[in-house]
Structure 1
Amino acid sequence: MESLWSKTTDMPAYPPLRGELRADVAVIGGGMAGILIAYFLAKAGLHPVVLEAERIGSGQTKNTTAKITSQHGLLYARLVEQFGEELAQQYAHANQKALEHYRTLIAELDIDCAFTQCPAYLYSTLEEEPLVREAQVARRLGIEANFTRRTELPFSVRAAVRFDGQARFHPLHFLRVIASHLEIYEHTPVQSVEEHRLLTPHGVVMAETIVFACHYPFLNMPGYYFMRMHQERSYVLALENTAKMEGMYLGIDENGLSFRPDENVLLLGGGSHRTGENAAGGRYARLRRLAQRYWPESREIAAWSAQDCMTLDGVPYIGPFSSSTPHWYVATGFQKWGMTSSMVAAQILTSQIMGRNHPDAEVFSPQRFKPSASAKMLIEETAHATAGLSRTFFNPPRAELDALSPGHGGIVEYDGKKAGVYKDEHGEIFVVSVQCPHLGCQLEWNSDEKSWDCPCHGSRFDYKGNLLDNPAQEDLPHA
């Protein structure tokens, strides 16, 4: 399924890398984070190169709802409780500054990307107290946030918080212009990294500094990011003929919805779940039912899903990759706020690579570990991984091949062993291994996306076994 941004943008093509290349900085990943990091490093006088496995912007950047906001759910009261006032202040300041950096850069380069200032709301149909507290703490940290009960939503709410001075834009229109200033190699997946050497299928890059901006780091060690994050999927419809909205909205209740206007289109989002836990499907169907309830005359013009890296404590990992690799850096774990976090990462990493301190870097440090914020989640992540591995070796197949209906997939017994099978609408079958090549967890069928998803670390593959999302680096073998 193609996003609204992809449908309305013709991205330029860049060549693959062939041969050997030297650079000051090699940036792995050509999404919003990688492109912005490379752009600001180039402005600082360095020679960066961007290495992208597919096409620039073809990962999570094209699937974002493209909110540029310091409003990141019920966050600030929790940050103060877990990290203290000073570090919470760093988080708030970094994201507020990211808004200003976008505004300045768009003006300087005269980028036509539908950049629009607007308010961003949190809302609840059930609770009031958490939103009252969030507004109070956000204001104390310097954000213009106010409690209210007035919204533009097509249903009544119990309470809301309005964050003023936020923004939205067309991410691929913006990315296309920023990328035009850079040296980029597409269809150039990085297969291995050793010290300063990066190996790709048809070339080698030697770089003084390496930045992992590839959504989810594909190296397990050092860093151990696979133990410190999981991935979640969420779903979006683009609708015409709805009521007009000025603001952007995010519900804090279970199964809460996201609303985001774009000129004459409204993006309706929801259905979030941990990757690998959507065998029953129905996420798009629910959004379509709600669209018909609220706006019976609406028309769907696009539908897509996004995948987000979720950290143990709810704060991205931005900074040195590990204590043993001082010339490696990482930007990952952006939760559902990739556009703002990409700019935060660009500012922090540019400062650090240039040998300067950044005033807001400490809260994002990948080397942090706060027991009060992280221990419970670490236990849960370990339990998920253990369960995924156990399913691989001990769970029997769940169905017979003949029982699969056309257009459906499942784990079946095929030629005497467990396999993943998808049967298309014409009855043709596609058979793949259900063991994730990353760390061996058993994949699960996602009937909304017709994909095989890993519940442990979030790798995804289409029904033919082609890799869609990392940390895995290779396709599924046919069973």
Structure 2
Amino acid sequence: MQSIWSSTENFLPREPLKGDLTTDAAVIGGGMAGILTAYFLKQHGVEPVVLEAKTVGSGQTRNTTAKITSQHGLIYHKLLETLGVETARAYAEANQRAIQEYERIIREHKINCCFEQKPAFLYSLEESEPLLRESKAAAHLGIEARFTTDTGLPFPVKGAVRFDGQAQFHPLKFLNAIAQELTVYERTRVRTIEGDRIITDKGTVTAKNVVFAAHYPFINMPGYYFMRMHQERSYVLALQNAMQLEGMYLGIDKASGWSLRNAGELLLFGGANHRTGENRNGGKYRQLREKSQELWPDSREIAHWSAQDCMTLDGVPYIGNFSENTPHWYVATGFQKWGMTSSMVSAMLISDLIMKRENPWQKAFSPQRFTPGASSKSLLEDGLHSVRDLSRRIFAPGRAEVETLPPGHGGVVERDGKKVGVYRDEAGNDYVVSIRCPHLGCQLEWNPDEKSWDCPCHGSRFDYKGNLIDNPAQEDLCHD
């Protein structure tokens, strides 16, 4: 089902690339990060082109909860402890500036995108100490933050951190407005890049500067981003007849880490997070529905959708030069669950790099940073996941015979002595695909909540017919 953003905003179609061209800057990806970067470059006198595999705003931007906030979980105490005060302050300042830049652009262009200033709350039902530490860390770094137990939530909390001066909006209305004057080629998939030559399925673009803003870098080397990130999924319900809240909310508890915000008369209620490829049993939407009925028994669900997020090793996005060996390639990825502020930070940083302008935040977000103290645990966990999931494809047998698969279900099964992925629809028709992810060969897993095949190693996703949904994979699945 599509998000409320997708159902309430229409984009005029753009033509695909026709043949070859040369440009000063090419941005790969027509979501918030890509369009904002192109917008900033145009403001600086550069005429960029945007290459989008599908349509503008058709990726992760349409599935966000659209909180514009510098409150990114328990981030600031962690950054002070692991990366130091300089990096922590740069992170705080960049994300606070991102909020101001959204407001400036919306005001200057008179964009009607439901922009509202709201406080943001980080809460816990179980403990107060982490929130006390976080409020002190954030305040130390210049954020208007304070500890409180007064949240306006429909349940009591042990504590919360309140950030004032935050905001929320309709992301696609904003995106549509700022994309109007940009040159965007839709339905133009980038296949590969050789130096300054971007090879697409519609022609070749020669660019002095190349920006990777397509959520997850699809070029494995150089950069090796597949070794430095994993992806996670989360789920959202849009509820009518729920409640009006004072601000935006996120819980830190594993069992009750709900995300809440209003969008007009609706309440967006989210959570049930998991690593991509690890939802074999399903039930994530059911968890949200059961909790929403407990809290708001008269509410009615009018939409539901899910989102995917890239998680870095140390909790800070990778924004800047793609690698030391590619000085004119730039990347914006690893936004964690904070794509709106991180998109604006990316646009400011990368446009400054291309324009050779000094930016005080470049070091903190640099993809070339080495942070063993903050990264070692995540690196080990991600490595173990990849080894396990590669081994599963090679050694583990299918989990059942295809004949035992009930209608409306999918799974990894044995078929004619071979392990394959099968979805059987309600009419009894089978859709058979390879379970080998075309990115790096991990075994895909069935996600019953979304009827998709998901890669637990790097997060590529495919629909039940094998069509590509999310990168880093660039190809559809083979049909077995």
1:306 corresponding residue in structure 2: 307
The SS at the match of 1:19 is coil
Look up the match of 1:477: 478
Q: Which SS does the other structure have where 2:190 is aligned?
A: coil
- Percent of aligned pairs with the same amino acid: 64
Partner of 2:339: 338
Secondary structure of 1:191 counterpart: strand
> Within 2, Cα distance between the matches of 1:145 and 1:45?
38
Shift of 1:361: 1.4
Deviations along 1:249-304, one digit per CA (max 9) or x if unpaired, are 00000031000111100000001000000000000001001111111110111100
CA deviations over 1:319-340 (Å, ceiling 9, x no partner):
0000000000000000000000
In the alignment, the residues of structure 1 paired with residue 305 and residue 261 of structure 2 have an alpha-carbon distance, to the nearest angstrom, of 14
Deviations 1:137-180 (A, max 9, x none): 10010000110001111111110011001000000000001110
Q: Does 1:360 align with 2:347?
A: no
Instruction: Name the structure 1 match of 2:402.
Output: 401
Name segments (4+ residues, structure 1) moved above 6 Å: none
Equivalences for 1:245-394 in 2 at 5 Å?
245-255=245-255, 256-394=257-395
Per the alignment, residue 48 of structure 1 pairs with 48
TM-score, structure 2 as length reference:
0.99
Hey, what does 1:189 align to over in structure 2?
189
1:12-23 alignment runs, 5 A limit: 12-23=12-23
Q: Distance between the aligned counterparts of 1:204 and 1:121, measured in 2?
A: 47
1:468 aligns with 2:441: no
CA offsets 1:365-411 (integer angstroms, 9 cap, x no match): 00001110111211111111111110110000001112111111001
The alignment partner of 2:111 has SS state of coil
Give the match's secondary structure for 1:430: strand
1:422-444 per-position Cα deviation (integer Å, ceiling 9, x unaligned): 00011111000000000000000
| Corresponding residue for residue 208 of structure 2 | 208
Corresponding residue of 1:443? 444
Distance 1:154 1:356 in 2: 48
- Residue 66 of structure 1 pairs with residue 66 of structure 2: yes
**Counterpart code for 1:115:** F
Aligned residues: 479
2:444 is the counterpart of 1:455: no
- Cα offset, 1:96, TM superposition: 0.2
Structure 2 unpaired stretches of 5+: none
Cα root mean square deviation, aligned: 0.6
Q: Does 1:426 align with 2:427?
A: yes
- Helix, strand or coil at the partner of 2:272: strand
2:154 aligned with 1:149, yes or no? no
Cα distance in structure 2, aligned partners of 1:478 and 1:8: 36
Partner Cα distance (1:152, 1:430) in 2: 48
Map 1:139-178; keep pairs closer than 5 Å: 139-178=139-178
* Residue-by-residue CA offset, 1:8-67 (whole Å, 9 max, x unaligned): 111111111010111100000000000000000011011100000001110000000000
3-state DSSP class of the match of 1:397?
Answer: coil
- Distance (Å, rounded) in 2 between the aligned partners of 1:44 and 1:212: 19
CA distance in 2, matches of 1:189, 1:246: 42
| Counterpart Cα distance in 2 of 1:19 and 1:179 | 22
| Paired letter, 2:91 | Y
Give me the whole-angstrom Cα distance separating, in 2, the residues matched to 1:12 and 1:49: 17
Unaligned stretches of 5+ in structure 1? Answer: none
Moved more, 402-411 or 230-239: 402-411
The SS at the match of 2:142 is: coil
SS in 2 for 1:96: helix
Q: Displacement of 1:181 after TM fit?
A: 1.3
Q: Give 1:97's aligned residue.
A: 97
Identify the residue that residue 227 of structure 2 maps to in structure 1: 227
Aligned partner of 2:269: which letter? L
TM-score (normalizing by structure 1): 0.99
Aligned partners of 2:426 and 2:13: how far apart in 1?
A: 34
Aligned amino acid, residue 310 of structure 1: M
Q: Deviations over 1:107-151 (max 9, x none)?
A: 000000000000000000001110001001100100001100011
Please give the alpha-carbon distance, in whole angstroms, between the structure 1 residues aligned to 2:394 and 2:449: 26
Q: Structure 1 CA distance, aligned partners of 2:88 and 2:301?
A: 39
CA distance in structure 1 between the partners assigned to 2:5 and 2:34 by the alignment = 18
Deviation at 1:415, TM superposition (A): 2.3
